Amino acid sequence: MPLNELLPKAAKLYPDKEAVVCGDLRMDYKGFAERVWQLSNGLIRMGIKRNDRVAILHENCHVFLEVYFATAHLGIILVPLNFRLSKKELTMILNDSRPRILIAQNTFHNKAAGIPDLVPHIEKIIWTQRSTESGSGPMDLDYEALLKEQTITPPPELNIKDDDVAHLYYTSGTTGRPKGVMLTHKNVKSHALGTIAELHLADSDHWFHVAPLFHLADAWATFAVTWVGGKHVLIPAFDPKEVLDLIEQEKITLSNLIPTMLNMMVNHPDVGKFDYSSLRVILSGGASIAPETVRKIIEVFKCDYIQTYGMTETSPYLTLSILKQHLKELSWEERLRYKARTGREFINVNLKVVDDQGNEVAKDDRQVGEIIVKGDIVTPGYWNLPEETEKAILDGWLYTGDMAVVDSEGYVNIVDRKKDMIITGGENVYSTEVENVLYTHPDILEAAVIGVPDAHWGEAVKACVVLKDSCKLDEKEIISFCKENLAHYKAPKSVDFLEALPKTGSGKIYKKGLREPYL
């Protein structure tokens, strides 16, 4: 079943069932589908065709769900944009993906306004929550006005092929250039089916979209939850108390949050004031999580917990820490240890941990190897980057760059990363990208960026710099400089000033030596 058949199916089976809750707006599946058809018809009228690109810059909102389904129905490739990126970074992505339409929330007016001058192939900006500052030129349209002009008749159903690209998610490359990860209709569909099977999703489920919908930690649920007729509850931005309150109000049954969110929730002073009895499982992903945090999650919410691991390139899940039946008979501490591990392989993927010669490592929880995977959920490659694709996918296997051990039960645990990627607050930051910015400062001679443990963010970005002779900079100046050229979450949280960076025998910067004091 292609993605363009999911919403019609849900609207046929559950027309009067509540589908979407977004602030004060509540829609049943019939009403939700009608808005999707209106948007689809509006895009057709604007001349947007199959395989064209449409980008969206938006907080979590019913609009995001509508755009996901309208583009899937028309065979349009959707480009979800990370609203935390700088205008410079967004422009780079838009020039690479070349969308014809940008759908933008007025909240991000300062980033979206003027984009057409920098990205000439964008023909229209469709504004949501439009105000006078959103613009009233010939390129500016109002989202709600566009929908009102269209009929609620479903557009003709296309013969979507499995290998047609559905989404382009951009990740930062190790060289600083963003890479567009292509996910096909087969990738998204296969992942949705896998999560339905693994998590036992049903029409009784109320999914909470807390993590951003531009990110696959949450976006996958758009299709899986709709497929089974579940309810979508959205919050525009994370606030721990509001999230805890809405769990009670909307009787949330499950959600996937990043560890920093969960840590703030379980440690909130009002955490004991709400009823969480509707919850059946909490998932976390996007970064590693401390076993003690897992313990608190289970104690506070009194529900099951599943650790997830995945990548944008894999739609995203690769492992889940779901216990095998016989492991449920272990002691509480042993069960907790398994739940806090990276997990066993996802139902829709084949996963191996291999050494440098390509041989599987011993299942002794000691020998370290690289995780490699293949399956219907794995990307066919990177947008317009065949060489990068060939480096990442060899003989059908995607090399993740994540180093792990595996135990006798087949549960893997990530211990390190090959690449110098830092995961801070669930966002990936590549050290090279930050270093490239630091090296553009006229007073910096050498720079290296590492991730250091942080109780709030999981990891924090730290810059280690050597200044040129007679130059003076302080920590605040360097951080401000980075924030001017990068998304703020990529900027260092702290700076160490050194006389020289440690080097290996071959003259390379020895990053392990920089990290050691913080391990």
The CATH code of the domain that includes 9 is 3.40.50.980
How much of the chain exceeds pLDDT 70, in percent? 96
Burial (CB count within 10 angstroms: exposed 0-12, middle 13-18, buried 19+), residue 458: buried
User: Over the range 251-280, which residues count as b (16 or more CB within 10 Å of their CB) and which as e?
Assistant: bbbbbbbbbbbbbbbbebeebeebebeebe
Give the distance, in angstroms, between the CA of residue 420 and the centroid of all CA atoms in the same chain: 19
Q: Per-residue pLDDT averaged across 36-47, rounded?
A: 98
Alpha-carbon distances of 369 from 50, 169, 267, 297, 330, rounded to whole Å: 42, 27, 35, 30, 28
CA distance 435 to 91: 20
Burial (CB count within 10 angstroms: exposed 0-12, middle 13-18, buried 19+), residue 237: exposed
Residue 82 in domain: yes
Angle in degrees, 0-180, between the axes of helices 62-74 and 29-45, rounded to the nearest 10: 60
pLDDT band at 130, cuts 50/70/90?
A: confident
Q: Is residue 35 scored above 50 in pLDDT?
A: yes
What are the tens digits of pLDDT across the range 420-478? Answer: 678 899 887 877 778 888 988 989 988 889 999 999 899 999 999 999 888 999 999 99
User: CA-based angle 433:434:435, to the nearest 5?
Assistant: 90
Residue from 271, 252, 254 nearest 263 by CA: 271
Q: What is the pLDDT of residue 506?
A: 38
Q: Is residue 277 scored above 50 in pLDDT?
A: yes
Q: Is residue 341 scored above 80 in pLDDT?
A: yes
Report helix, strand or coil for 298. helix
Report helix, strand or coil for 19. strand
Residue 159 in domain: no
Q: What is the pLDDT of residue 175?
A: 44
What are the tens digits of pLDDT across the range 6-20? Answer: 999 999 999 999 999
Q: How many other C-beta atoms can be found within 10 angstroms of the C-beta atom of residue 70? A: 27
Residue 225 in domain: no
Residue 305 in domain: no
Q: What is the pLDDT of residue 505?
A: 43
Q: How many other C-beta atoms can be found within 10 angstroms of the C-beta atom of residue 484? A: 12
What are the tens digits of pLDDT across the range 261-276? Answer: 898 898 899 999 999 9
What are the tens digits of pLDDT across the range 215-242? Answer: 999 999 999 999 999 999 999 999 999 9
Residue 444 in domain: yes
Q: Mind spelling out the 3-state secondary structure of 234-281? A: ECCCCCHHHHHHHHHHCCCCEEEECHHHHHHHHCCCCHHHCCCCCCCE
Among 113-127, 182-196, 287-301, 389-403, where is mean pLDDT lowest? Answer: 287-301
Residue 55 in domain: yes
Q: Is residue 22 scored above 80 in pLDDT?
A: yes
What are the tens digits of pLDDT across the range 404-431? Answer: 899 999 999 887 666 667 889 988 787 7
The CATH code of the domain that includes 513 is 3.30.300.30
Residue 203 main-chain phi, psi, to 5 deg: -70, -10
Q: Per-residue pLDDT averaged across 308-333, rounded?
A: 96
Q: Is residue 200 scored above 70 in pLDDT?
A: yes
**DSSP structural state of residue 128:** E
The one-letter code for the residue type at 328 is: K
Q: What is the pLDDT of residue 135?
A: 61
Ordered alpha helix ranges (H), 361-404: 386-392
Q: Which of 106, 137, 154 is the last residue of a domain?
A: 154
User: Do the beta carbons of residue 274 and residue 251 sit within 8 Å?
Assistant: no
Tell me the residue range of the domain where 42 lies: 1-13+25-154
CA distance 79 to 298: 36
Q: What is the pLDDT of residue 293?
A: 83
Q: Which of 122, 137, 154 is the last residue of a domain?
A: 154
Q: What is the pLDDT of residue 373?
A: 98
pLDDT band at 503, cuts 50/70/90?
A: confident
Mean pLDDT of the chain, nearest integer: 92
**DSSP structural state of residue 346:** P
DSSP states of 398-461? EEEEEEEEE-TTS-EEEEEESS-EEEETTEEEEHHHHHHHHTTSTTEEEEEEEEEEETTTEEEE
Residue 48 main-chain phi, psi, to 5 deg: -75, 130
Q: Is residue 176 scored above 60 in pLDDT?
A: no
CA distance 399 to 407: 20
Q: Which of 116, 139, 154 is the last residue of a domain?
A: 154
Q: What is the pLDDT of residue 237?
A: 93
Residues 6+ apart with CB under 8 A from 256: 211, 217, 218, 221, 283, 284, 285, 308
Q: How many other C-beta atoms can be found within 10 angstroms of the C-beta atom of residue 348? A: 22
Residue 306 in domain: no
Number of domains in the chain: 2
Residue 406 in domain: no
Q: Per-residue pLDDT averaged across 335-355, rounded?
A: 95
CA distance 135 to 383: 31
Could you tell me the pTM of the whole model? 0.85
**DSSP structural state of residue 505:** T
User: CA-based angle 355:347:205, to the nearest 5?
Assistant: 140
